[in-house]
Amino acid sequence: RGRPGVVTFPTAAAMAAGPPPPLQPSPLPVFREEGFGDKFLRKTRENPLVPLGCLCTVGVLTYGLISFKRGHTRRSQLMMRARILAQGFTFAALLGGMVLTAMRPKQ
Q: Is residue 19 part of a domain?
A: no
pTM for the whole structure: 0.63
Q: Is residue 22 part of a domain?
A: no
Q: Work out how many domains the chain is built from and give that number.
A: 1
| Pick from 85, 97, 92: nearest CA to 56 | 85
Q: Is residue 55 part of a domain?
A: yes
What is the extent of the structural domain holding 72? 47-103
What are 19-70's pLDDT values in tens digits?
666 677 777 777 788 899 998 898 898 889 999 999 999 999 999 999 999 9
Q: Is residue 84 part of a domain?
A: yes
Contacts of 20 (CB under 8 A, 6+ apart): none
